[in-house]
Structure 1
Amino acid sequence: MLTRKKVQNSVILVFGILILLNIIASRFFFRIDYTEDQRYSLSNATKNILVSLDEPITITAYFSEDLPPNILKVRQDFRDILVEYASYSNGQIVYEFVNPSESEETELKAQQSGIQPIMINVRERDQVKQQRAYLGDIIQIGDKKEVIPFIQPGAAMEYTLSTNIKKLSVKNKPQIAFLQGNGEPSLGAMQQLNNQLSVLYDVGTVKFSDTAGIPLQYKTLVVVAPKDT
């Protein structure tokens, strides 16, 4: 049978362990990912982008404060992922969270930067009401910036963030060219593909008649659905 002194000692020990864990967690962020699909772990592609950064990046996250629990989870997940980004970048990534609703000036600055409010459904006393909310961020390197007006949950969060960081940080993009003049669709007809490739590549065109002398700067020649043979 436990004596009162032993019980008191056990309680003190438990509190001591909790305090120690809290100190460790405050000094060193870590998160062990037990999920089968590793949904909370950064991809190797993202890690490679972060470790190669050679200039500071500022990420300003615009999130409303009074959000329902499911939206608050997105905010917490984004904060967690930014902690990991900052850690892998060796301090090159600096971030802050701003509540646009705290003042008219802050809200106006967010909107002028490209972050617009969205409408979300909020349940109150068995009623569903709509509420304005901000869930976006701005990534900036020097005078260059990319705007993510709406932060999506899940894997899209890391993909969008890493793609925009890569887009801003890359200095010498590899050049690729689309073959034109043999019935292929124009770049204008492939706007979505062109936009996606332009994130990481300088995209150009080469005429079919010039293929005997393709400029050396192009690393890849892309041929899409030629119609003329």
Structure 2
Amino acid sequence: MMRRPQHIVTLLLTLLVLVLVGLNSAFYFVRLDLTEQRVYSISAVSRALVREIPDNARITFYLSDRLRTQAVETEQIVDLLYEYAAHSRGTIDVEVVDPAAAGVTAEIEQLGVMPQQIQLIEQDQQSLATVYTGIVIEYLDRTHTLPVVIDPRVFEYELTIALRNLVRDHTPQIGILLGRADEALEREYQLSASRLSRRFTLRQLAAAEPIPPDIDALFVIGGRDLTAADTAMIHDYLSRGGSALFAVDGVKVDLQTPNLAAAPAPRRPVDELLEEYGVRVRREIVLDEYHRSIPVARAGGAGTFQSIEPYPAWVSVVNYNSDHPVSARFTGLDLYWPSPLDLDPALDFEILLQSSSRAWLMQEPLITSPLQPAALQRDAAETRGRYVLAAAGGQQNQDRGRIVVVGDSDFLSNLLQYTNSGHNVDFAENLAAWLALDDELLSLRTRAARDVRLNRIEDPAARSRVAGFAQLVNVYLVPLAVAFYGLMRYLRRRSRAHAKPRTERSTTA
């Protein structure tokens, strides 16, 4: 009879402990995350940021209930939001709101939350629904909106950068200097500019204009029309500690001609500037067995039709420097008619990207027509090898800032829509963060990004070994392990069944 009060006291104490743990979880957050790079937890950079926020911030996740029940990844985003709040020690307030139920769809659209049309299957019925999955961040008198939030892999990067820019009231500025006078950022580079402008303030600079001191990094794209006065301004900016990307190639390809006529670029002031820094852009084109395809118009009996042809001059980069912050967790890059780079070994340039060992060069006379596949292979036997496609320098040079050179002026142009190369902009964001000396931003960008596809393993023998091992494990070892476990269970039960009658006979005796 005395045990019952003890059980009641034990139960009450257990409930009290659970309540206290729940109350303290708002201030002390612990999670066991055993994944590589701890991708299901916010990083040390994010934790440090939210703990230093001096005033209260409010994060409202406008998430439609209909989408929440269909997309499980939204629950991971909600979970991460509450982790932000827990680590903030009370300065961040998080709320998840269904806009339709709250009747605020018009208001949040004015704030920039974008409605999305998705197909839903509910009760065996397929329907088209308008849903919302956007975030509004309020801090003091400032507001920032993430129009669409759906991918947990990039969510921490987007939210932490938005919070940091709001708290510091500063967004990094990237100056864009186009080396071809007939181009415009909003026309020839519309796709990449729209993506980059979500993270940075983009400013297109006029030729021969002094580069403002508040520019955090400079992108020099192309060099055909840059004069000596332009490169003098660039040199002055770099000597003041500025950093720059040079996307410059040694061959000009005429996109208006049917056969994509190509010719070596004449020597330009930008070449002299780069050679002063230790980089020479060669007047050749790198072609590679790792490449993309190109749409080609062909003549037919009833007119013209379009076909998709393999095109080695559009190189898919698979060989990267895993030790450099820019390319540490490389997700891919496609280059269009890239030129190889020669680096001065006496200077501090480091290779970022290379072609595969199965690449070759197109030398003069240059043939780039996708309708002449045999001609594209003309110089393959004599020039087969690995070539430098991008390099970075300036880390140890006190006389200038950081420099990156990519042997292609088109990798951020609208050509990327033909190869579905959104990862080109991801690479550009990494470059911008590193050039702007924003290593915190870069650590977030590269935290979860990694290309683990087997077809990205360059060495055919290594790729074959990995594929064979995967087949061995999945096709043979796993089924054999299950069968072995079942056999052991069967033998164990059989042994027990035989032992039981012997025990009963001994007891009877």
TM (norm. structure 1) is: 0.72
1:135 equivalent to 2:133? Answer: yes
> After the TM superposition, which residues 69-218 of structure 1 pair with which residues of structure 2 at under 5 Å, given as runs?
69-71=69-71, 73-104=72-103, 106-171=104-169, 177=175, 189-190=188-189, 192=192, 196=196, 199=199, 205=205, 206=211, 207-214=230-237
SS at match of 1:111: helix
Equivalence for 2:51: 51
Distance 2:2 2:249 in 1: 86
CA drift at 1:22: 4.4
Going from structure 1 to structure 2, the CA distance change for 1:112 and 1:214 (only over 3 Å counts) comes to closer
Distance 1:158 1:50 in 2: 12
Would the aligned equivalents of 2:25 and 2:86 in 1 still touch at CA under 8 Å? no
* Counterpart contact for 1:167–1:200, Cα < 8 Å: no
Q: CA deviation at 1:118?
A: 2.2
Indicate the percent of aligned positions where both proteins have the same amino acid. 20
- Which runs of no fewer than 5 residues in structure 1 stay unpaired? none
Distance in structure 1 (CA, Å) of the matches to 2:138 and 2:167: 10
Higher normalized contact order (CA 8 Å, seq sep 6+, divided by chain length):
1
Query: What SS does the corresponding residue of 2:247 show, helix, strand or coil?
Result: coil
For residues 49-94 of structure 1, what are the alpha-carbon distances to aligned partners after superposition, in whole Å with 9 as ceiling and x for unaligned? 32343343221211223455343x4443333222221233343322
Determine the structure 1 residue equivalent to 2:330. Answer: none
Normalised by the length of structure 2, the TM-score is 0.37
State how far apart, in whole Å, the 2-side matches of 1:114 and 1:85 are: 22
Structure 2: how far apart are the matches of 1:190 and 1:45?
Answer: 32
Match of 2:21 among 19, 24, 40: 24
Give CA deviations for 1:115-161 in whole Å, capped at 9, x if unaligned: 23323333333333333322111112334322222211322221221
Report if aligned partners of 2:77, 2:152 keep a CA contact under 8 Å in 1: no
Q: How many angstroms apart in 1 are the aligned matches of 2:2 and 2:62? A: 52
1:126/1:115 CA distance change after superposition, 3 Å: same
The aligned length equals 223
Q: Secondary structure at the match of 1:166?
A: helix
8 Å CA contact 1:122, 1:130 repeated in 2: yes
- Please tell me the residue identity of whatever aligns with 2:32: D
State the alpha-carbon separation in 2 of the partners of residues 75 and 68 from structure 1. 6
* Shift in alpha-carbon separation, 1:80–1:217, aligned structure 2, 3 A: farther
Amino acid at match of 2:236: G
Q: What letter is aligned with 1:62?
A: Y
Which structure has the greater CA radius of gyration? 2
Shift of 1:32: 1.8
Q: Which amino acid aligns with 2:59?
A: I
| Correspondence 1:64 to 2:87 | no
2:244 counterpart of 1:221: yes
Aligned residue identity for 2:18: L
How far 1:5 sits from its partner (Å)?
8.6
Q: Is the 8 A contact 1:63 1:100 kept in 2?
A: yes
CA drift at 1:174: 6.0
Q: Quick one: which amino acid aligns to residue 219 of structure 1? A: G
CA–CA distance in structure 2, aligned partners of residues 41 and 131 of structure 1 = 31
Counterpart of 1:79 in structure 2: which amino acid?
Answer: V
C-alpha change, 1:135 and 1:213, in structure 2 (3 Å) is closer
Does the CA-based 8 Å contact 1:58-1:93 persist in structure 2? yes
SS in structure 2 of the partner of residue 130 of structure 1: strand
Query: Equivalents in 1 of 2:155, 2:196: separation in Å?
Result: 16
2:242 partner SS:
strand
Query: Structure 1 pair 75/13, CA: closer, same or farther in 2 (3 Å)?
Result: farther
Deviations 1:181-215 (A, max 9, x none): 599x8755555268537735776754313245338
Query: Mind listing any 5+ residue stretches in structure 2 that lack a counterpart?
Result: 206-210, 212-229, 251-267, 272-509
Secondary structure, aligned partner of 1:223: strand
User: In 1, Cα distance between the equivalents of 2:58 and 2:68?
Assistant: 27
**3-state SS of 1:139 partner:** strand
| 2:59 counterpart SS class | strand
Contact preservation (8 Å) 1:118, 1:133: yes
Q: Is the 8 A contact 1:115 1:147 kept in 2?
A: yes
Amino acid of the structure 2 residue aligned with 1:21: L
Structure-1 separation of matches of 2:189 and 2:42: 31
- The CA deviation string for residues 95-116 of structure 1, in whole angstroms up to 9 with x for no partner, is 3222211254x22212222223
1:34 maps to 33
